[in-house]
Amino acid sequence: MNTRVKRFMLPLGGVAVATGMIAASLTTAAAASSAAAPASDGLATSKAAAVKTIKSWTAGNGKRLKAAAKFTKDAAVPGKIKLGGGNAKPDGKTGVVPPIGQEKITPTTAKNVNLPKTIGKVFFRLDGKDYWCSGSSIQGKYHNLVATAGHCVYDVDGNRDTLAEWIFVPAYYQGKAPFGIYAGKSAYTHFDFANYEDFDSDYAFVTVYNGITADTWDTPSKWQDAGRLGDNVGGQGFAWNQKIGQPVYAFGYPAGPHPDGDYPYTGLTPKYCYGKTTAAGVASAFNAQAQVALKCTMTAGASGGPWITQYSSTKRLGYINGVTSLVGDSDGNDRFDFATSPYFDSETYAIYSAASNLASGKLTP
């Protein structure tokens, strides 16, 4: 059992804006939270391994991609859960890092919500089976960073560090990768999540190599460099120590059933929820005491999808202020009606900053 002592949080201060990206932010993050202990682990640490991973996923015209299942482990809180009473609070000043190419975002309240280009599916292998979660491109110095849930990168149950053959496919649909396939290079999360499975830190930031694209995946000699992830689909900004109660959009690819057995989603296309965050209830099964919640009916598969505040539907950009961690039922009617996210504080920012300053490079098939 995790014996981590939950820290008391300091009152909210002023606002910090990291517009210089990102050398200065490393110093700021270290000063803001010396207690944040990043866990850094390799995925495909060599370019040869990354190419091998992409070849494996795309063999047979993407057969494995099409057959992969939504990841349901560590995705739902069992039983009826009462919201409120958690310990999520800011631990310092608020701050934001702007999205790629946008110094300022003006939120919109359009009736028709345009989905962000940055979202996609995370694929990985666990215990001989192929799975997927949700994720999003996020701002980074080298435009090569993905934000997702920690349990979509680390093997929580087996405690075997990172998951195998990890890739990100933005705008994935039925085996097609319109912006290329991006193999993960290195993963960053909180020490407490990697070592104690503490879902208050159920987030991860993954650096990815340049993407690979192809007219036909079964001819690797004709593969092409797709360029950097953020140059192709953009990257959401990052926000931390935000006040609970602000409106957010939660995006993801839900596919799993409700507890009553109903399957309302297919996982083929992304969906969203919108509302104001509240304090989540304590989920002792996941050692979660300081998460935030959002009224939402999405199911398993949405794990890792971004929670975006100040979202502009016209620019399709905003600031990631959380990622879907768990779903649950608050009224006991066997229907999921809320989702949770770890609260993004100064420690989250420190870990994000460590990941966002690392280059990955181009792959040569």
Query: Could you tell me the mean pLDDT of each successive run of 10 residues in the chain, 365 residues long?
Result: 30 37 38 60 94 95 91 69 71 92 70 91 95 97 97 81 95 87 96 87 97 90 95 97 96 93 93 94 80 94 96 94 93 91 95 96 85
pLDDT of residue 96: 95
Residue 291 lies in a domain: yes
- H-helix or E-strand containing 231? helix 229-233
pTM, whole model, 2 decimals?
0.89
Range of the domain at 309: 15-356
Q: Measuring CA to CA, which residue among 130, 102, 207, 190 is closest to residue 154?
A: 190
Q: How many domains does the chain have?
A: 1
Three-state secondary structure along 244-301? CCCEEEEEECCCCCCCCCCCCCCCCCCEEEEEECEECCCEHHHCECCEEEEECCCCCC
Residue 239 lies in a domain: yes
Q: Tell me whether residue 244 is exposed, middle or buried, using C-beta atoms within 10 angstroms of its C-beta: 0 to 12, 13 to 18, 19 or more.
A: middle
pLDDT of residue 341: 95
- What secondary structure letter does DSSP report for 107? -
Residue 10 lies in a domain: no
Residue 1 lies in a domain: no
Residue 361 lies in a domain: no
Residue 364 lies in a domain: no
pLDDT of residue 26: 36
Residue 347 lies in a domain: yes
CA 313 centroid distance within chain: 20
Residue 342 lies in a domain: yes
Query: What backbone phi and psi angles, to 5 degrees, belong to 249?
Result: -105, 130
